[in-house]
Amino acid sequence: MRLFSDESEFAVDMSNMKLTHVPKDLPPKTKILDISQNSISELHISDLSYLSGLKVLRLSHNKIWYLDFSIFKFNQDLEYLDLSYNQLQNISCHLITSLKHLDLSFNDFDVLPICKEFGNLTQLHFLGLSATKLRQLDLLPIAHLHLNYILLDLEGYYAKETESLQILNTKTLHLVFHPDQLFSVQVNISVNSLGCLQLTNIILNNDNCEVLTKFLSGLTRGPTLLNFTLKHMKTTWKCLVRIFQFLWPKPIEYLSIYNLTIVGSIDEEDFHYSETALKALKIEHVKNEVFIFSQTVLYTVFSEMNIMMLTISDTPFIHMLCPPPSNAFKFLNFTQNGFTDSVFQNCSQLVRLETLILRKNKLKSLHKVGLMTKHMTSLEILDVSGNSLEYDRDDGDCTWVGSIVVLNLSSNILADSVFRCLPPKVKVLDLHDNRIRSIPKPIMKLEALQELNVASNSLAHLPDCGTFSSLSVLIIDSNSISNPSGDFFQSCQKIKSIRAGNNPFQCTCELREFVQSLGQVSSEVVEGWPDSYKCDYPENYKGTPLKDFHVSQLSCNTTLLLVTVGVTVLGLTVIVTALCIYFDLPWYLRMMCQWTQTRRRARNIPLEELQRTLQFHAFISYSEHDSAWVKNELVPWLEKEDIRICLHERNFVPGKSIVENIINCIEKSYKSIFVLSPNFVQSEWCHYELYFAHHSLFHEGSNNLILILLEPIPQNCIPSKYHKLRALMTQRTYLEWPKEKNKHGLFWANIRAAFNMKFTYLFERDRASECTQK
């Protein structure tokens, strides 16, 4: 069981399942039930009574031999009932007022199965019937109904006498005869307001041709019959021409013949092209079983017809003659024949022709196709698709009639050169399924071109609208476009519809602008978006819809990337430079360099020699503004305690740099005394001395710093670059010079304690030095 459902219908398809009875487990909500092509022979009321919402029931191609319409009394919504191709011989009627389509054709009825209840089927549009014999009043119960379509199956009709049948009201009458017997039906059928007549299975020879024309006499008499169709017709050429001649003066406007087989011989027949109401003759799928005949005889009958539209398709015709000057042809369709480049060459008689279709023939030269149209001054639509057309520039310049506005050149073998051989005023051009790789520049300007179809070629780029200034519809799917231009919509501002899906898009930076431009236009403009637009490369993006492909502008724009990196580096440089200046990093680097150089030199001096270089107990660092206190208070007291001191004004070696003198003095002293004050903070050289002394502290692992706070220093007065001074004052104990004289003794005691060390080695060395000098 196959179930199909949507918002309004619930369908069950159980066709061709070898069923012998109607299944009992059908969904109660079923509205469409198809159980055709099975082996069901009987129907019971219980089979369908619970399907109260059933609207469509298909029971064709079963083995039902009897039907009681009362089984449908619980299916009050039933509109479509198909019981064709069964074995029905009798029916029992019951009114089903909702029926619109009732098909009882291709059954075994002896007479037409019409009940008086059918007269109340006021909604009935289609009625299919079967019978082996006809009676004039068989359809009287439904005479008042206005039907759209009556299908009358007369395959088993065998009446030996002429019968009559009156069909009062129907728009279309379709009669089906036996497929393997000569047409022999002799019945007078009269129909009111018949608009379309269709006969199927007509077999004729020269002897029974008049039987058909006589049969048609009554049916074609009315002025309303405009369409006449013959299907599956087998006849001689002579009989076919006689049928044409019979129909020529009739009011029929459209004559169609499908599946025509010509047998016997094809000889010249007289045909009088009198005035006719016929506008169009269509003959499709012709099989010619006559192998030796005059081509001229065959083609002349059609080429000289005084009608506006002629279609002869899927036939073995290899040529068509140029019609006489009096021809009225406006439409010619010769699809799927064997026409070659010689057709209509040098034919100047088709001046009224507006549409010419030569699809699926054997045309090869586009240049000759252009020449063929030279005299067709009214030609607007030309279809030569499905041939083997190509254009060779050696053939010379192309000549086209200037009136062509629609040209179909699809499914040929045309290359890029086709754009140099086109009608100048063409508006709709179909070139899909060819061998076009590119649209060459320069080419003839097709300023009137509005619609261009170049799908299924090998194009690598979207066209430039500079050549097609009026282009509004472009179909270019299934090509080789990988990186379409992002400015396409800017150059083609008149585009109202583009279909460019199913191309091998390379999802790289080059595609970014095109994807953005697609997102900016309406979905009605871009057909197939987004389902048909997918990445083909790189492999990790393959199958990804273009709408989901995102890449940043920074990674795609090299210039922008370089600018961004440059600005970032420059910004970082500015920040680092500012920090360096803020923290006086250049000064520290210079000091570190000096310190490193001095330590390197000291590393090469032996330890004994380095120890012999110690000459002072203390190096005093102070600001010149504090020199009075240093010289009047500190130095006298230290020297009174036999502490040898180093002062810059008396111990710096002339000729050496100040930095080197500072380092040497610090290294030649056990201690370094720093007299701290607001003046000290403002002295850069004092800070140098403190910096090197601090490094010496860490290098030697000693405690050689003595900090004397001469005057209080507020933390906010210490410059930020002197962060070492801030750290030392926070981390280390300093001696503060008291203002009260009674506390000076304690201060000097702390100084003495700070110098609580053995000077024996230094004094002994000094005395030894003095003895040597003596």
556-599 per-position pLDDT tens digit: 666 766 887 888 888 898 888 787 766 656 655 655 564 565 45
Distance in angstroms (rounded) separating the CA atoms of residues 381 and 390? 20
412-427 per-position pLDDT tens digit: 999 999 999 999 999 9
Does some domain include residue 527?
no
Distance in angstroms (rounded) separating the CA atoms of residues 504 and 518? 16
Does some domain include residue 653?
yes
Q: Return the structure tokens found at 446.
A: 């097709």
Distance in angstroms (rounded) separating the CA atoms of residues 199 and 207? 19
Q: Which of 361, 379, 413 is the last residue of a domain?
A: 413
CA angle 51, 57, 59 (to 5 degrees): 125
Q: Return the structure tokens found at 768.
A: 């030894």
Does some domain include residue 571?
no
Question: What are residue 128's DSSP bridge partners?
Answer: 103, 151
User: Does the bond joining 325 to the residue before it have cis omega, within 30 degrees of 0?
Assistant: no
560 phi, psi to nearest 5 deg: -65, -40
Q: Please give the torsion angle defined by the CA atoms of residues 675, 681, 686 and 690, in that order, rounded to the nearest 10 degrees.
A: 80
Tabulate helix, strand, coil % of the chain (nearest 5): 30, 20, 50
What CATH number does the domain containing 700 carry?
3.40.50.10140
Does some domain include residue 408?
yes
Question: What are residue 498's DSSP bridge partners?
Answer: 474, 526
Q: Which of 413, 443, 467 is the last residue of a domain?
A: 413
Query: 729 by DSSP, 3-state: which?
Result: helix
* 274 contacts 246 by C-beta, under 8 angstroms: no
Burial of 651 (0-12, 13-18, 19+ CB in 10 A): middle
Element of type H or E holding 682: helix 678-682
Distance in angstroms (rounded) separating the CA atoms of residues 452 and 765? 109
Low-confidence ranges of the chain (pLDDT < 50): 5, 7-8, 594, 598, 601-602, 607, 610, 697-701, 757-774
Does some domain include residue 376?
yes
Instruction: Give pLDDT, residue 705.
Output: 78
Distance in angstroms (rounded) separating the CA atoms of residues 294 and 305? 18
CA angle 206, 210, 214 (to 5 degrees): 160
* 430 contacts 408 by C-beta, under 8 angstroms: yes
Q: Return the structure tokens found at 105.
A: 């054709």
Does some domain include residue 761?
no
Instruction: Give pLDDT, residue 685.
Output: 61
Does some domain include residue 531?
no
Q: Please give the torsion angle defined by the CA atoms of residues 516, 521, 523 and 526, in that order, rounded to the nearest 10 degrees.
A: -80
Lookup result for tokens 């005395």: 767
By residue range, what is the domain housing residue 667?
615-753
Element of type H or E holding 697: helix 684-700
Element of type H or E holding 161: none
SS3 readout for 336-369: CCCCCCCCCCCCCCCCCCCEEECCCCCCCEHHHH
User: Does the bond joining 251 to the residue before it have cis omega, within 30 degrees of 0?
Assistant: no
Number of domains in the chain: 2
Query: What does 281-313 look like in DSSP terms, one character per residue?
Result: EEEEEEEE---S--HHHHHHHHHT---SEEEEE
Burial of 276 (0-12, 13-18, 19+ CB in 10 A): middle
**Single pTM value for the model:** 0.72
Lookup result for tokens 């098909």: 103
What CATH number does the domain containing 372 carry?
3.80.10.10
481 phi, psi to nearest 5 deg: -80, 120
Q: Return the structure tokens found at 159.
A: 């009446």
Letter for the amino acid at 283?
A: I
